Structure 1
Amino acid sequence: MNIDFTGKRILVTGSTGGIGLAAAEGFVAAGGQVVINGRSEERVSRALARLEGAQGFAGDLSNAEDCERLFSAFPDFDIVVNNIGIFGPQDFFETTDAEWTRFFDTNVLSGVRVSRAYATGMAARGWGRVIFIASESALNIPADMIHYGMTKTAQLAVSRGLAKRLAGTGVTVNAVLPGPTLSEGVAGMLAPDGGDLEKIAADFVVAHRGSSIIRRASRVDEVANMILYIASEQASATTGASLRVDGGVVDII
């Protein structure tokens, strides 16, 4: 299978590290014209050093003002990957209204705004891809991150509904559901003092995601592979889907 993004304009939000950066690298390698995004100029510049020919946009897409700056700077995309997201454990009874709002604005409303801005142009041209990076936590709501799980479930609702809204236009909308993944954020949560991250993450998966079939955390490139496929011409008949890259954590058939 030859996946080729030559001539395609691609936005990957939250892409200065982790899954987003791995996806951006894959798009660039396959010929795409990629714009990456991060909250600071420093992080964007550091990521661009790894992505020859890519462009960057520094801004916090959890707020409407920075989204408007993005839309003005880059009026059209053929492929949008809504990857920006935050996570972290916190007990339900200690999670404030402000924290619920922060998670919703970052994980959900950012993708709503970006998709609303760019999907109409895709539909007018008769081709496009909108991808939401959700999580297996959308289905397995973690008791210690209920506020996070809520946002991931909301992404599935938005993705499925938007796919139906764009029926027959040539624009597909899908969600990708990673499981525990060896990203910088996970490293910071599981191994803040260093150590063998792969072993620490595997021990976490066995202890807290006992239904995992691969018995380890996924690599960022393994998740990126699914993103690249679902964004490709070859995935033209897949839309409105929730595509798991969770190592078998979600125990359904």
Structure 2
Amino acid sequence: MNLNLSGKRVLVTGGSKGIGMGIARAFAAEGADLILVSRDIDENEASKKVGRPITAVNLDLSQQGAAEQLGGRFPDIDILVNNAGAVPSGSLFDVDEARWRAAWDLKVFGYINMCRTFYPLMVGRGGGTIVNIAGIGAIVKSPAAICIAAGNAAIIVLSQTLGSGSHRDNIRVVAVNPGPVATERLKAAASVQGTQKFNADALLPWARPASVEEIGATVAFLASPMSSYTSGSVVTVDGGLSASAQGL
């Protein structure tokens, strides 16, 4: 399907691997021009993975002024995908304040600052689209992943609230909730868990996690003109896992 994304300027944070790279590949396949932002990214290597030349930016978005720096360098973005973030698992008492704040500085306040920076730039250019990657932790609400759940919930409400009125500025804001995805991080965790991996997979729809390509395709569609009436919405991509009473 032609999503009419050819020539669109797309900025993806956390774009060096995993879900971010899957999103980048989906946009590249549609002919979009990509800027990938990560703490550690090599432009040549990323271009090879994406399949076309991209612009790479090494930047820690948890640092004060990082979003503004990107806005100054790339004021002509058509689509912003906020994806950067690694939030620790653990109970309320497992995750201390320093780790909690550091995680939210990147995934929660990082998203807020990126929206705050690029939204006015999009207004000045006549419109745009913002896609925020959250996660089903906000739905399943496991006490063993409370920092994740609360952070994802904040991103969802940010997206819904901003997207409920952004049509006035010809801007759409949506959120995507991936369930378990076959990323490097999930594979590493599975190798540590050993045979427990098979037990976890058995609980997943189709006995497998989602692929990064499946998440990328969803994001590209939502960001495209083919989804032009979608704003303030949250799309969950977990094969029905969060709809199950069993879950994980």
TM-score normalized by structure 2?
0.90
C-alpha contact 1:103 1:148 (8 A) present in aligned 2: no
What whole-Å deviation, never above 9, does each CA across 1:73-112 have from its counterpart, x for those lacking one? Answer: 2122110000111033223212111111112111111111
Q: Distance in 2 between matches of 1:28 and 1:14?
A: 16
C-alpha contact 1:7 1:32 (8 A) present in aligned 2: yes
Cα distance change, pair 18–200 in 1 and its aligned pair in 2 (3 A): farther
Quote the RMSD (CA, aligned, Å).
Answer: 2.1
Q: Distance in 1 between matches of 2:44 and 2:68?
A: 21
Name the structure 1 match of 2:99: 99
C-alpha contact 2:87 2:104 (8 A) present in aligned 1: no
Moved more, 107-116 or 222-231: 107-116
Alpha-carbon distance, 1:222 to partner: 0.7
Alpha-carbon distance, 1:230 to partner: 0.1
Cα distance change, pair 227–57 in 1 and its aligned pair in 2 (3 A): same
Q: Percent identity?
A: 28
Q: Distance in 2 between matches of 1:110 and 1:63?
A: 8
Name the structure 2 match of 1:55: 55
Q: Secondary structure at the match of 2:65?
A: helix
Structure 2 alignment gaps of length 5 or more: none
Query: Residues 45-194 of structure 1: matches in 2 within 5 Å?
Result: 45-51=44-50, 52-192=52-192
Moved more, 58-67 or 242-251: 58-67
Moved more, 117-126 or 243-252: 117-126
Cα distance change, pair 95–27 in 1 and its aligned pair in 2 (3 A): same
Structure 1 alignment gaps of length 5 or more: none
Q: Distance in 1 between matches of 2:121 and 2:30?
A: 23
Q: Distance in 1 between matches of 2:30 and 2:192?
A: 34
Instruction: List structure 1 runs of 4+ shifted beyond 6 angstroms.
Output: none
TM-score normalized by structure 1?
0.89
Name the structure 2 match of 1:233: 225
Cα distance change, pair 27–200 in 1 and its aligned pair in 2 (3 A): farther
Amino acid aligned to 2:78: D
What whole-Å deviation, never above 9, does each CA across 1:39-79 have from its counterpart, x for those lacking one? Answer: 0244x543233232211110111112333332222122110
2:238 alignment partner, one of 207, 223, 246: 246
